[in-house]
Amino acid sequence: MSSVLQIKRVNKAFGGLMALSDISFDVNEGELCGLIGPNGAGKTTLFNVISGLYTPTSGSITLSNQSSKVISGLAPYKITQLGLARTFQNIRLFKEMTVLDNIKVAMHSQIQTSLLDTLIRTPQYRKEEARIESEALTFLKSVKLDHLAQKKASSLPYGQQRQLEIARALATQAKILLLDEPAAGMNPQETEDLAQFIKKIHQEKGLTILLIEHDMNLIMSITSRIIVLDYGKVIANDVPEKIKTNPRVIEAYLGEEREEHVEGQ
Amino acid sequence: MTSLLKYKNLLLLGLLWLIVLFGVNTLIDARIINPYYRQILYGIGINMILGVSLNLIIGLSGQLSLGHAGFMSIGAYSAAIVLRTQPHLGGLALGIGLGLFISLIVAFGVAVPTLRLKGDYLAIATLGVGEIIRIVILNMSITNGASGISNIRNLMSWPLMYTMVSFAVILTLRFKYSKFGRAALSIKSDELASESMGVNVTKIKVLAFMFGAMLAAVAGSLYATTYYVVKPETFGIDMSIGILIIVVLGGMGSLSGSLLAAIFVGIVNMFLQSYGQMRMLIYALILILVMIFRPEGLLGLEELSLQSIKSKFIKKKEVVS
């Protein structure tokens, strides 16, 4: 397996606060990798750095999708066009647009029409619009959201909004997905549906997924490797079974054992 | 079958267009629409172009611009200056072309730095830009300073106004229902998400801004030849706010809403003519009322179309039966 995403010695400082310090890890092609850690560990910050919303203070991020390319410092839309897309912790759909239009916006950079074509309505424009319409509908069918195509995004129930957000990221033709707490606020049934959905798209579309999640059942059941962050540092990087028993991880989540504390004093 | 239906609708629209063109023309010829009403009609036409052009910037891409009158004045003065030496339709076309060119350059120069700003800051920056344009015009000799240019050749006619408004509406509609319009709407909805979906946010914002500014310049050129006098003071903040009222009233994002609002404002203006500056007070009152009772404007994001009207009627029929 070759790695598609290499994160090397990435630091991110907000003033004097080191939100991320010396983060290094690789994500392999086709992997479904978990990213966990207590609140404030820097998981979302790391996503923001990878997806280009923040530039890292130092260090480099390389995407080896088609060809090897350093993406740290690029604008977010360029990173997305290179094949890496993300979802957000708080759902950020285009609320007053239809489900279909949400998908079409994600396909924006795949549409080859100039402004002039658009204003004159050349045959080229009509052809492209027809193509994108049918591709967007086919895509919606493949993620089983096609019956909602003409609904406004804001009118969807919560679980489906989450699904649509993942689908929208997928529609950018990204091969690497960063999912930021997709199960947040879901009940156990919705979480289970979501797990199936993620598994399905992961296998069917040959994706590489990096997943932030607090739901341990979800993360343990679908990921093949877990990276643990605490105070902006990677404290563990291993298969789920070993993460469960890793003393540093347990310490980060539950605090030190009491006896040690007493002994230390 | 569906394509046949499409052609049928297109034909129906074309027929409707021609009926209005010749119908109003006949009414003007027969003096049923007297010169006074005709002038009001032209005013509404200019306001329609201004409304849809600002709607592109505010309603679609969500950038609050208060400098629209500035771009309008560029077109107005371009036409006025060219018409001085070329007092015929060709000159007007040349003037419109010149206005388009200058507003393109100015809008680009303004858009690139200012569109990084958001909300109130952008509004203030564009307000400043409008004032800068006005003051530059006030101090140039070719524009004749504060006294402005008068005795501009009046070339306005109903077919000309009607065609220009139709062009403006068709172009903006095409923009709205294309990848550019979708991208612009997504920026208005959530800029961060839009950028994360691969949309070059700055490019789309600049495009919408330039397009809107250029249409405003066209409206300005038409203004110059309709009212045959242009003065710097005409194109101040009051004018920009006046256009903003049309956009807000009609619904941000709804082009047909802007058209309806332009008609409404034109008619209200007609009745309030004798109140002078009091009009602004009544405008303000209307705006406040709209904000309270219908914050999304007359039509919100939706467009008026044959289909939507038809479906409304069919629904009503169903209810009756």
CA distance A17 to A157: 38
A83 contacts A4 by C-beta, under 8 angstroms: no
CA distance B213 to B208: 8
The order of strands in the sheet holding A17-28 is A17-28, A3-14, A58-64, A68-70
**Percent of chain B topping pLDDT 90:** 67
ipTM field? 0.88
Beta strand extents in A16-173 (DSSP E only): 17-28, 32-36, 58-64, 68-70, 84-86
Q: Specify whether A102 is located in the same domain as A91.
A: no
Cβ neighbours around A138 below 10 Å, total:
10
CA distance B291 to B298: 11
With respect to residue A226, please indicate whether it lies within any of the assigned structural domains: yes
Q: Specify whether B46 is located in the same domain as B19.
A: no
With respect to residue B320, please indicate whether it lies within any of the assigned structural domains: no
Tokens at residue A68, please? Answer: 């090897």
B52 exposure class (CB count in 10 Å sphere: 0-12, 13-18, 19+): buried
With respect to residue A190, please indicate whether it lies within any of the assigned structural domains: yes
> For chain A, how many structural domains are there in total?
2
- Please answer yes or no on whether A101 and B200 come within 8 Å at the CB atom: no
Q: Pick the closest to residue A44 from A191, A252, A188, A210 (CA basis).
A: A210
Query: What residues in A contact B10, CB-CB < 8 Å?
Result: none
Q: Is A137 on the interface with B (CB under 8 A)?
A: no
How confident is the model over A106-127, as pLDDT tens digits? Answer: 999 998 888 888 998 888 899 9
How confident is the model over B39-87, as pLDDT tens digits? Answer: 999 999 999 999 999 999 999 999 999 999 999 999 999 999 999 999 9
Q: Specify whether A84 is located in the same domain as A146.
A: no
With respect to residue B250, please indicate whether it lies within any of the assigned structural domains: no
Q: Is A1 on the interface with B (CB under 8 A)?
A: no
Out of B171, B190, B198, the one facing A172 most closely (by C-beta) is B198
Q: Classify each residue of B3-13 as buried b or exposed e, where b means 16 or more C-beta atoms within 10 Å of its C-beta.
A: eeeeeeeeeee
**Residues of the domain holding B26:** 1-33
Q: Specify whether A241 is located in the same domain as A112.
A: no
**Residues of the domain holding A110:** 97-151
Q: Specify whether B218 is located in the same domain as B174.
A: yes
Record the pTM.
Answer: 0.90
How confident is the model over A145-202, as pLDDT tens digits? Answer: 999 999 999 999 988 999 999 999 999 999 999 999 999 888 898 899 899 999 999 9
Out of A75, A86, A97, the one facing B185 most closely (by C-beta) is A97
End position of a domain, from candidates A85, A119, A151: A151
Q: Specify whether A26 is located in the same domain as A106.
A: no
Rg of chain A, C-alpha, whole Å: 20
> What is the per-residue DSSP string for A48-63?
HHHTTSS--SEEEEEE
Q: Specify whether B206 is located in the same domain as B95.
A: yes
- Please answer yes or no on whether B197 and A132 come within 8 Å at the CB atom: no
Q: Specify whether A79 is located in the same domain as A133.
A: no
How confident is the model over B213-255, as pLDDT tens digits? Answer: 999 999 999 999 999 999 999 999 989 989 999 999 999 889 9
Q: How far is A132 from chain B (nearest CA, A)?
A: 10
Query: What residues in A contact B198, CB-CB < 8 Å?
Result: 77, 80-81, 85, 106, 108-109, 172
With respect to residue B165, please indicate whether it lies within any of the assigned structural domains: yes
Query: CA of A78: which chain B residue's CA is closest?
Result: B198
Q: Give the residue from A74, A84, A94 with the most B CB atoms within 10 Å of its CB, the best one to mutate.
A: A94
Query: What residues in B contact A125, CB-CB < 8 Å?
Result: 178
Q: Is A50 on the interface with B (CB under 8 A)?
A: no
Q: Which residues on neighbouring strands pair with residue A32, listed in sequence order?
A: A209
Q: Specify whether B6 is located in the same domain as B48.
A: no
